[in-house]
Structure 1
Amino acid sequence: MTQDYISPVPVEPSAQEPRRFVFVLLNEFTLFAVATATECLRVANRMSGKQLYSWASTAESLEPVVSSAGIAFPVDIPFDEVTRDDTLIVCGGLNIQSNSTAKTMGWLRKISRQGVKIGSLCAGAHALAKAGLLDGHRATIHWENQDGFIEDFPEIQLTRSVFAIDRNRFTAAGGTASIDLMLRMIADDHGTGLSNAVADQFIYSSIRTDQDFQRLSTPTRMGVRHPRLGQVIDLMEANIEEPVSPSELAESVGMSTRQLERLFRRYLDRSPKRYYMELRLGRARNLLMQTDMSIINVAIACGFSSPSHFSKCYRTHYGITPYRERGSMGSSGS
């Protein structure tokens, strides 16, 4: 059997060769985000013809850590074998609050005092914030976790971008954003020639930067190309705690309330009032699943005048009360 040969891509020299990434695996971490990040490092080595990177996994126990896909992963090294020269990536996923344990938070605080570069993938940003390691830094997290993050850590500057790098902290939203983050790091270490070669190997033709947003625009996401409808939906999403009246929404885009009603019926098969209610209830469900906020505070944060009204609307939409929802499913993340 012949081994394929790839002409090495010239790389810019780095002060730290090889650079070791240590993936801190939290229980129920998102498998896809971790797999793509490590694959970027592997392919960078292959395309350069050099051992530019190495990687290892760690966790608070040497027992295998179970990912969100139910696959158990072995742990390579214990916490005390991580050094100040390593780059740490905290990998989170489901049930991020309960999986951000006191032992892991304490260790992260301890090692951060050594000046270690620390980042996160997916919901791992919640663990970094909980440990106090994102104070004064820009950060991002998967869009599904953003509502809960903002409520829990209002002092942290959260962005909607696919990844954020701020001094010795970095965060990626998860999913394919892990690829964009690692490509940026490879480019910073060894030049864009190598990062582009890695992207080509992945057939990844559109590399995003920290200026790109996670989600598609509202019209594109919904398959609706009417510009004024998109503007109204954006306004609704920006005003969940204090809902805007249909007449004000209509006036904001230069149409009558009746015209706005027809627009929603035509494109979304529902009234503006119903669509707005669904947005608010969706936000409420995220907060119930991702935070420890009381039911009353969730209701207030989503624009409901009373817990009873909130409970009635929630049950009508989801077929279960907020109390039973939280009790049966617990809090989870993406």
Structure 2
Amino acid sequence: MTDCASQSPILVDIVVADGFVLTEFTAIVELLRTANRVTAKEAFRWRWLSKRGGVVGCRAGITIDTHPFDNKHTAQYVFVLGNSDPDAPDLSMRKTIKAYQWAGARVILLSEAASRYISETGEQLMSHTTHWENRALLNERGTPGMGSNALAADDGQITTSAGMGATYDLVLGILGDHLSAAAVATVTDIFLHETIRTSSTLQPFGGKELSRSGNRTLDQCIELMQANLEEPLRISELAGYLNISERSLERQFRKHFGTSPNAYYRELRLNQANTLLLKTSMSVRDVGLACGFSNGFSTLFGRHFGVTPTALRRARGPAG
């Protein structure tokens, strides 16, 4: 921890593009603002930037007035936000990233900004991560390597992150480098953020052991389901792996989730199909096969979501 009492404010640049993720923006700004309130001083100062400056809007319809890039590069931290479109031209900013790095800034790329950086480097390294939804697009396009499934990863030069809710953990971690433990705990309590997750914490669908029900058997069952979306296991097979009867598994799902194991499993696969339709250019047929639907995919999808896969793909627009 660095004592900020007699120091200048820590400078933070927040770089956005049209369609930026509001969750990520508010996580950064509100945590820094609250840190200043808790410490009763301007411990942090920030500004938001874009390539051309001016009004930039997020997907939620909120707009902010940004400064254009300049050559000052005085910020100690630079956050580049995702914007739901990994192919957005404004996310291609390796020259700007390099300029900040040369100036000694810590550069943090969130979600789509991270996946754009990974695609432009040409390889998914274990020292790089992005949101698990973006991993599907990288894999579909044949970007070599496996990449990390952690919330954040640092390759010694740049930090890539899943973004979204993990942005809170990243910013709280930065606060811990500059404020007292008591101040950080107070900020954490204000946001009702019970635990600051470490960067190595795994994302869902990244091997993380989640507690969905408080029931270890059910949690193990769900982990098996998530690991076998493309080639679904029969319920009898799931019960066999768990060493319980099908009737017992059915009863426990009804008690905790109000649905059957089959229905829960089918919804997991449909939700994955929804992600692939929105995030990749895979054909509708290939999406269905990738999620374990050898036939009847469009009918099941339309019945569940109220829109056909083709209509959803058509309505998503260029930003995904």
Q: Does 1:62 align with 2:53?
A: yes
Match of 1:3 in 2: none
SS of the residue corresponding to residue 21 of structure 1 reads: strand
Match of 2:243 in 1: 254
Following superposition, the deviation at residue 126 of structure 1 comes to 3.1
2:156 to 148, 154, 167: 167
Gaps of 5+ in 1: 1-9
Matches of residues 43-192 of structure 1 in structure 2 within 5 Å?
43-48=34-39, 51-76=42-67, 78-81=68-71, 83=73, 86-93=76-83, 95-97=84-86, 100-101=88-89, 103-105=90-92, 108-114=93-99, 115=101, 116-132=105-121, 135-136=124-125, 138-142=127-131, 147-148=136-137, 151=140, 155-161=145-151, 163-189=152-178, 192=181
Following superposition, the deviation at residue 73 of structure 1 comes to 0.2
Most deviating of 126-135 and 110-119: 126-135
In the alignment, residue 81 of structure 1 is paired with which amino acid? N
Match of 2:229 in 1: 240
TM-score (structure 1 length as normaliser): 0.76
- Name the CA distance, whole Å, in 1 between partners of 2:23 and 2:293: 37
Alpha-carbon contact 1:34-1:121 (below 8 Å) kept: no
Distance 1:276 1:23, change over 3 A: same
Q: Does 1:285 align with 2:274?
A: yes
- Name the CA distance, whole Å, in 1 between partners of 2:194 and 2:269: 36
In the alignment, residue 77 of structure 2 is paired with which amino acid? T
Alpha-carbon contact 2:11-2:74 (below 8 Å) kept: no
Match of 1:6 in 2: none
1:318 to 286, 300, 305: 305
Distance 1:79 1:156, change over 3 A: farther
Q: Does 1:29 align with 2:23?
A: no
In the alignment, residue 186 of structure 1 is paired with which amino acid? L
- Name the CA distance, whole Å, in 1 between partners of 2:256 and 2:285: 34
Alpha-carbon contact 2:91-2:113 (below 8 Å) kept: no
TM-score (structure 2 length as normaliser): 0.79
Following superposition, the deviation at residue 213 of structure 1 comes to 5.2
1:45-93 Cα offsets, whole Å, 9 max, x none, are 45556554322211122230112321210012x2243527553211124
Following superposition, the deviation at residue 183 of structure 1 comes to 1.8
Q: Does 1:273 align with 2:258?
A: no
In the alignment, residue 52 of structure 2 is paired with which amino acid? S
Match of 1:40 in 2: 31
1:77-123 Cα offsets, whole Å, 9 max, x none, are x2243527553211124x3235x22x440xx2112334353213454
SS of the residue corresponding to residue 48 of structure 2 reads: strand
% same residue: 32
SS of the residue corresponding to residue 86 of structure 2 reads: helix
Distance 1:158 1:295, change over 3 A: farther
Alpha-carbon contact 2:122-2:144 (below 8 Å) kept: no
Q: CA RMSD in A?
A: 3.5
Match of 2:217 in 1: 228
